[in-house]
Amino acid sequence: MDDSQKTNLNQIFYRFDEINFLLIFSILFFAFLFLVIVQRLLPKVAEKVPGRFRHYILPLIPIVRLFVLLIAAFSVVSLIVKPSFQNFVAIFGAAGLAIGFAFKDYVSSLIAGVVAIYEQPYRPGDWVRIEDVYGEVKSLGLRSLQILTPDDTMVSIPHAKIWDTGIHNANTGKRTHLCVADFYLHPEHDAKIVRQKLLDVAFTSAYLEVDHPVTVVVAEKPWGTHYRLKAYPIENRDEFQFISDLTVRGKRALSEIGVKPALIPVVAQR
């Protein structure tokens, strides 16, 4: 290394004996400790408070993590690099270029993670479908999100999916979302009576959120009549219990008035 290169480095970086490594270690340690506390404490707090507050607490986790990481990174760099606008631009530019080439997909997910925190196509507590994965968003990292499926499987999906994949969000930050119970009935029945029976089933459900509308959509098919009973549960986590309750009690109510299910003829395979 010639004298000019050494001079340039000395203009950018502090000398080795000038760097406070103890302070750098302390910043990294306390940042990591704070992130662990936030990651573990806020979800527990969200579970203890009423459901209407949970969707305000959980989205704070990725935002707090992002700010802590940015503050820690800037603090550490300022202890190594001499404070000037040109030095910081040079260091972050070179680091960004090197990381971008080496970890293109990883960096793409990181950038998408920042975009996801800002635009909020999903947030902790939302029920989303990304490709063929459906479930509750449990946490958001800078690179990926964790989705807990109804089969109790945790799935990790990189944020980069938002660039080219549709994000289906069932509740967008609300504590309830629309649930649908399907009924496939034989066409020979009084549709007005059936519709009223299904409405009665929904209004007498223990899971029903009464402040939201209940509707029954009817469609005639070649094989029979398709009824869709649409309603909102009190808690979005009760989605499948709610649909099961509507289905079981709906079948019983329809059976009591003599309505038969549709039977689709089976075509013999040759």
Q: What is the CATH number of the domain that holds 235?
A: 3.30.70.100
For 93-128, the pLDDT digits (tens) are: 666 665 555 556 666 777 787 788 777 888 888 899
Q: Which of 64, 79, 102 is the last residue of a domain?
A: 102
Whether residue 131 lies inside any domain: the answer is: no
The predicted model gives 44-61 an average pLDDT of: 67
> What's the confidence (pLDDT) of residue 41?
80
Of 90-94, 110-114, 170-174, 179-183, minimum mean pLDDT range: 90-94
Whether residue 204 lies inside any domain: the answer is: yes
The answer, yes or no, to whether residue 63 has pLDDT greater than 80, is no
Determine how many CB atoms are found less than 10 A away from the CB of residue 209: 19
> What's the confidence (pLDDT) of residue 6?
47
The answer, yes or no, to whether residue 7 has pLDDT greater than 60, is no
9-14: which pairs have CB atoms within 8 A and are 24 or more residues apart?
Answer: 11/82, 11/87, 12/81, 12/82, 12/87, 12/90, 12/91, 13/80, 13/81, 13/82, 14/79, 14/80, 14/81, 14/82
Number of domains in the chain: 2
The predicted model gives 127-150 an average pLDDT of: 88
- Angstrom distance (rounded) from CA 83 to CA 261: 76
- Angstrom distance (rounded) from CA 257 to CA 253: 7
For 202-257, the pLDDT digits (tens) are: 999 999 999 999 999 999 998 899 999 999 998 888 999 999 999 999 999 999 99
Whether residue 183 lies inside any domain: the answer is: yes
CA distances 204 to 59, 168, 245, 250, Å, are: 33, 29, 10, 11
Q: Which residue has the higher pLDDT, 14 or 32?
A: 32
Domain with 246 in it: 179-256
Q: Which of 42, 72, 102 is the last residue of a domain?
A: 102
> What's the confidence (pLDDT) of residue 165?
87
Angle at Cα 248 formed by Cα 239 and Cα 190, nearest 5°? 115
Whether residue 266 lies inside any domain: the answer is: no
Q: Which amino acid is at 153?
A: T
